């Protein structure tokens, strides 16, 4: 709930481009389901060719690094990179939501861990 509230707060406070960037940050990790070759798989199993990209963007280290680094990027004023910050918040919100709903990283053969 905290990440959801923080993401919405950033989007409302800053408006403009932060709104679509926060939404894209939330949706983007699942776009990896369209990356890589689709091979044979059973229901609930991710094709092997998609597992590496899926696992890469569903680890929290990427958005956490974004939340730490983005405020220190050069720009015109303190709110210059708030869109990238909101993108990272949306991305982290996606990962947290997946974990809360029981979805996690995948094994090499595409099954839930």
Say if CB 18 and CB 82 are below 8 A apart: yes
Q: What gap in Å lies between CA 37 and CA 17, rounded to an integer?
A: 33
**Is 112 in a helix, a strand, or coil?**
strand
| Whole-prediction pTM | 0.90
Instruction: Give 53's DSSP letter.
Output: H
pLDDT tens track of the chain, all 113 residues? 899 999 999 999 998 889 999 999 999 999 998 988 888 889 989 999 999 999 999 999 999 999 999 989 898 776 789 999 999 999 999 999 999 999 999 999 999 98
């Amino acid at each position: 709930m905290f990440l959801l509230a923080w993401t919405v707060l950033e989007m409302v406070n800053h408006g403009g481009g932060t709104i679509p960037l926060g939404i894209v940050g939330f949706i983007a990790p699942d776009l990896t389901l369209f990356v890589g070759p689709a091979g044979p798989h059973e229901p609930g199993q991710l094709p092997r060719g998609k597992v590496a990209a899926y696992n890469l963007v569903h680890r929290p280290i990427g958005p956490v690094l974004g939340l730490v680094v983005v405020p220190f990027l050069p720009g015109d004023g303190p709110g210059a990179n708030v869109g990238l910050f909101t993108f990272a918040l949306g991305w982290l919100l996606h990962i947290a939501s997946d974990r809360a709903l029981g979805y996690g990283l995948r094994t090499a053969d595409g099954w839930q861990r």
